[in-house]
A and B are shown apart, each in its own frame.
Chain A
Amino acid sequence: MGGIAIATAGAVDREAASWVESCLATALGIDTERLDPLPDPSYAYDEGRGQYSSTLVLHDALARRPAHAARLLVITEHDIFIPMLSFVYGQAQLDGPVAVLSLARLRQEFYGLPPNRPLFLVRARKEALHEIGHTFGLTHCNDPGCAMALSTNIEQLDAKGSDYCSGCATLLRDAARVACDGAELAVRSGGIR
């Protein structure tokens, strides 16, 4: 099929995962597929930091991506990090097949505030679009209203839009078409990517 595969890793809010899947399907206009849940990424836990290494989760995702899927987005409830930074909302391989999204810091409860489900789901959509955008080669966008704008804190994440700007949308559609066609071809010819 050559679309985007979505998998949860460990215990994850199922409704949020389905929401993310539908957001990606409508925003990108390509097929999505829900994979069986992956085991909890305990292998990526860093005791010193009390967080999970997003780099290790990405490496695991690379091995688990089905050959027919152009991209795989792994969703986790754990707070994730890269060594240089105190946290990340998500991480993606730029122009590569895998991305990881953490829901931990998207909830108001993380900041000691009362839950706000609609806000949480909007944030999940923005971050999912953002990380998947990176996998199709998009870098951060200068348009503050675009989902590809850089957000380094929750205020910035809330301030940016929940869709791609027209420029990023155009680039993304072209890149997604090429990637999905490529994945489909790889499956037909029995190739392993």
Chain B
Amino acid sequence: MKKHWEVLVVDDEPVMRESLAAWLAEDGYTVDTAESGREAVTRAAAKDYAIYFVDLKMPPGLDGIETMMEIRRLHADASVIIMTAYATVDTAITAMKEGAQEYIVKPCNPEEISLLVGRIIKVKNLQRENLILRKKLAKQYSFHDILSKNPKMIEIFDLVREIASLRSTVLIQGGSGTGKELVARAIHFSGDRASKPFVAVSCAALAENLLESELFGHERGAFTGAVERKRGKFEMADGGTLLLDEIGDISPKLQVDLLRVLQERKFFRVGGNEEISVDVRVIAASRVNLQEAVAAGTFRDDLFYRLNVINIHLPSLRERREDIPLLASAFVERLSHELGKAASELSEGALRVLVDHDWPGNVRELENAVERALVTSKGHVLDEDDFAFLRREAGHGNGWAAPDNMSLDEIERQVIMATLNRTAGNVKEAAAALGIDRSTLYDRMKRYGMSRTGVE
């Protein structure tokens, strides 16, 4: 007994249709038949077949070529065999140009059709095997949605397993898009708190007073607009884990409040008198170097030490280039499905471009690049041309020439001013764009006598 591949035979002539279907059924295939192009398309919409035998000459409506094109619109990888009793070079060329895998003239030798079907099924088997192996490989290198075979990342996975069930505070540091939240989730979902809430809050997204209310909640009437009592993220995460993302961005006052919660596990809602106790594991994440912020005096050292009980530093994607093919393939597989795109793999050339790129935005940038390439791609394979935008973006940097007779300080001053102009004086955004922390930017602005809006 063999294979369980499904085949669709499309022919308006009943004898032709039924006899071919019977012959294929004897060979062990599950065969469906359709007497028109329209019926074939309906069947193909319901399920994909391993092989479509489509008669070229069918009544007006949908002929064989049009039927094949409709089927390929539904299933870009469909293997279509066009059958015809009226062989001409033109029809053969048209059929092959429009994507027919094979073109056969009726009647054909049984050996010919058997070899043809066998060849297609062999490829289908290899594709299926390849898919299974890729899934196995992804699983082997997968840890709670994080894919990696990089030794540093494997060490992090081991550390996460070790510390998952502890209550100790964790500080995760790493550039934007390195996967800090994924690691925080992995810690939560690997440990005893997995069945309890995981709550994430971005400290960079909210103004000081809003963040305070967001974290600790507020009583009714605590401030204008506080029309009812609201539970904060600490309360919501009770029993579970609270991720404080971009912790480096919180104000000095909140740093004090947070230190108190971490020390005493107790806090007051904004405007409240009742002390609330919680059992929350705090994981803090930061893209800026908190040690530097401590040295610059913008981050409290006592809070830093309280947070930095267990430290995890995530490498940039540049430092784990071996993961790029693995990650890119996983993104292609997931996103092509989500976007309904045909492309399901990456060419060697595309992988070379991806591996050579610097990825300042790390894994998130890689994911976005794959999505962008998929959106504009037409074929089944993403090739290097689909990622041409990466070369163009990287090229901007290479094309830059240093101005004549300009000191390094002057260049720095001009770059900072241009960046502040671009961000309309937003220091935080400008600092992020320049890749330095806010305190460093303030220092430079002070040194060059600049305000948010220009030279003072």
Contact = CB atoms under 8 A, between A and B. Distances in A.
Interface of A: 49, 53-55, 81-88, 91-94, 134, 139-142, 150, 152-153, 167
Interface string B71-109: 000000000000100000000000000000000001111
Contacts of A150: 27, 114
Contacts of A49: 107
B110 A86 contact: yes
Contact of B27 (A55, A82, A84, A140): A140
B107 A85 contact: yes
Given A84-B83, A86-B109, A87-B110, 14 more contacts: A54-B19, A83-B19, A83-B20, A84-B16, A85-B23, A86-B107, A139-B2, A140-B2, A140-B26, A142-B1, A142-B2, A150-B27, A150-B114, A153-B111
Contact of A84 (B2, B20, B25): B20
Nearest to B9: A84
Nearest to A140: B27
Interface string B15-52: 11011101101111000000000000000000000000
B13 interface: yes
Contacts of A139: 1-2, 25-28
Contacts of B15: 53, 55, 83
A44 to B, nearest CB: 11
Contacts of B109: 85-86, 152
A55 B16 CA distance: 10
Contacts of A142: 1-2
A93 to B, nearest CB: 7
Given A87-B110, A139-B28, A82 B1 contact: no
Contact of A152 (B20, B107, B111): B111
Given A55-B18, A55-B19, A84 B113 contact: yes
Contacts, number: 72
Contacts of B111: 152-153
A83 B16 contact: yes
Nearest to A51: B107
B202 to A, nearest CB: 59
Contacts of A88: 23, 110
Residue of B20, B22, B23, B106 contacting most chain A CB atoms (<10 Å): B22
Interface residues of B, number: 23
Given A83-B16, A85-B113, A150-B114, A141 B1 contact: yes
Contact of A82 (B23, B25, B83, B114): B23
Given A55-B15, A139-B1, A142-B2, A84 B26 contact: no
Contacts of B26: 92, 94, 134, 139-140
A54 B26 CA distance: 15
A49 B1 CA distance: 34
A15 to B, nearest CB: 28
A88 B27 CA distance: 14
Given A91-B22, A150-B114, A167-B1, A83 B28 contact: no
Contacts of A152: 109-111, 114
A-B pairs, top 9 by smallest CB distance, nearest first, are A82-B19, A139-B28, A152-B110, A152-B111, A84-B20, A83-B16, A86-B107, A152-B114, A94-B25
B28 A140 contact: yes
Contacts of B28: 139-140
A93 B108 contact: no
A152 B2 CA distance: 18
A85 B108 contact: yes
A139 B30 CA distance: 11
A153 B113 CA distance: 12
Nearest to A94: B25
A47 to B, nearest CB: 15
Contacts of B20: 82-84
Contacts of B83: 84
Nearest to B114: A152
A30 to B, nearest CB: 21
A134 B108 CA distance: 22
17 contacts: A49-B107, A55-B19, A81-B107, A82-B20, A83-B19, A83-B106, A86-B108, A87-B110, A92-B26, A139-B2, A140-B2, A140-B27, A140-B28, A141-B2, A152-B109, A152-B111, A152-B114
A51 to B, nearest CB: 9
Contacts of B107: 49, 81, 83-86
A152 B27 CA distance: 11
A49 B15 CA distance: 15
Contacts of A85: 23, 107-110, 113
A152 B109 CA distance: 8
A154 B107 CA distance: 18
Contacts of B19: 54-55, 82-84, 91
Contacts of A53: 15
B314 to A, nearest CB: 51
A133 B48 CA distance: 30
Contacts of B13: 83
Contacts of A93: 22
A84 B84 CA distance: 10
B18 to A, nearest CB: 7
Nearest to B111: A152
Interface string B209-222: 00000000000000
